Amino acid sequence: MENSFEENFLQALSRVPEMPECYENVMRRIRKRNATMRTLWAAAASLLIAATSVLYLELSKNQAVPMEVVEELQSIQSHVNGEDIHQELVSYSLVSEEIYK
Amino acid sequence: MKELDEITIRRAAKKDQQAFRQVYDYYSLFVWKVIFRTVNGDTEAAKEVVQETFIRVYTSLGSFGFNSALSTWIYRIAYNTANTYLSKKKSKRLVDGLDVDLLVDGKTKENYENKEIVEALLSAVSPEERFLLMGREVEGISFEELARITGKSSEALRTLMSRLKARLRATYDNLNQKK
């Protein structure tokens, strides 16, 4: 390739049409993408909250009360209703139960 | 290339739109020139790549660590964006944007069937090679900077460039002999 041709070839390559105005399009597309991202995040957050709520409700519906708590509640109920008075009299009496018979 | 001041770049990184406008105004023309040739003179493709490049610049400028010149960083984004675009589109080689009259000097006008020669020369050049040709020979980017942009070593790029020139020269000589 002759030098003059090489120079001309490169000069021709460097000659490009005037750059079209792109800035407004860039900003418009950025705003659009941001809005899309916000919508997606909001949708994802809503889904997460909904799923967590459903899971929590399901768990609290199926959860069994532990045996110790049941027993404790039953003893409180007996105490409040006075059902255990006889038992207590027996437990704390100084004389034998036989006396009452 | 003289770079934009650091304060403006840092403001743009914090999504200051006025500062970003300055970044755009400062670097977009260089990006346009290189990308226009990389996509083989396809104006619509070049517009798309430039826009996508600056969208990426806007969203990622916060992660720019000032380890290189901002122009190098932007060129790297432009190079990757163009590669992605071209691999998706398998762009047709075009020469519409080339000023073929410049290739003709008075003496040899008869010998060159200009457009044919230019087309033949460009058809021997891949988009990546066009990017390098534009970056190095037209915009004067150093091989070291080009290495940072393309992820290749500067030695490999030097070799690639000298082979590219030899290939262009051979293609040109071939065409001249046929005439």
pTM for the whole structure: 0.69
* Alpha-carbon dihedral A44, A49, A55, A57, rounded to 10 degrees: -150
Contact B165, B72 (CB under 8 A): no
pLDDT computed for residue B41 by the predictor: 80
* Higher pLDDT, residue A23 or B119: A23
Q: Are the beta carbons of B102 and A12 separated by less than 8 Å? A: yes
CA contacts within 13 A on the Cβ side of B130:
27
Class of domain B6-178: mainly alpha
DSSP state of B66: S
Q: Where are the domains of chain B?
A: 6-178
Integer Rg of chain A from CA: 42
Q: Are the beta carbons of A16 and B102 separated by less than 8 Å? A: no
Q: Are the beta carbons of A27 and B105 separated by less than 8 Å? A: no
Tens digit of each residue's pLDDT (9 = 90 or more) over B66-113:
888 899 999 999 999 998 998 887 644 444 444 444 444 444 444 444
Q: Are the beta carbons of B55 and A22 separated by less than 8 Å? A: no
Q: Which residue of B has its CA nearest to A33?
A: B55
Q: Are the beta carbons of B137 and A13 separated by less than 8 Å? A: yes
Give the one of A1, A10, A20 whose C-beta lies nearest to B138's C-beta.
Answer: A10
Give the highest mean pLDDT range of A25-34, B95-104, B170-179. Answer: A25-34
Q: Are the beta carbons of A8 and B121 separated by less than 8 Å? A: no
In the A/B pair of chains, how many CB contacts fall below 8 A? 79
* Higher pLDDT, residue B111 or A9: A9
Give the one of A4, A16, A20 whose C-beta lies nearest to B37's C-beta.
Answer: A16
What band does B178 get if pLDDT is binned at 50, 70 and 90?
Answer: low
Q: How far is A49 from chain B (nearest CA, A)?
A: 28
* Higher pLDDT, residue B92 or B61: B61
Candidates B42, B141, B129, B97; CA nearest to A13 is B97
Q: Which residue of A has its CA nearest to B130?
A: A13
Q: Read off the tokens for B142.
A: 């150093």
Write down the ipTM of this complex.
Answer: 0.71
Contact B3, B23 (CB under 8 A): no
Contact B74, B35 (CB under 8 A): no
Q: Are the beta carbons of A13 and B133 separated by less than 8 Å? A: yes
Contact B30, B1 (CB under 8 A): yes
Residue A95 parent element (H or E): none
- Mean pLDDT score of chain A: 82
* Higher pLDDT, residue A1 or B8: B8
What band does A60 get if pLDDT is binned at 50, 70 and 90?
Answer: confident
Q: Does residue A14 carry a pLDDT above 70?
A: yes
Mapping DSSP onto H, E and C, the string for A44-92 reads HHHHHHHHHHHHHHHHHHHCCCCHHHHHHHHHHHHHHHCCCHHHHHHHH
Q: How far is A10 from chain B (nearest CA, A)?
A: 7
* Higher pLDDT, residue B168 or B121: B168
Q: Where are the domains of chain A?
A: 20-63, 64-101
Please give the average per-residue pLDDT across B36-54, as a whole number: 90
pLDDT computed for residue B123 by the predictor: 67
pLDDT > 90: percent of chain B: 43
Q: Tokens 């008869």 appear where?
A: B110
- Which residues from B are below 8 Å from A19, CB to CB? 28-29, 32, 50
Kindly state the greatest CA–CA separation across chain B: 59
Q: Tokens 């743009």 appear where?
A: B12
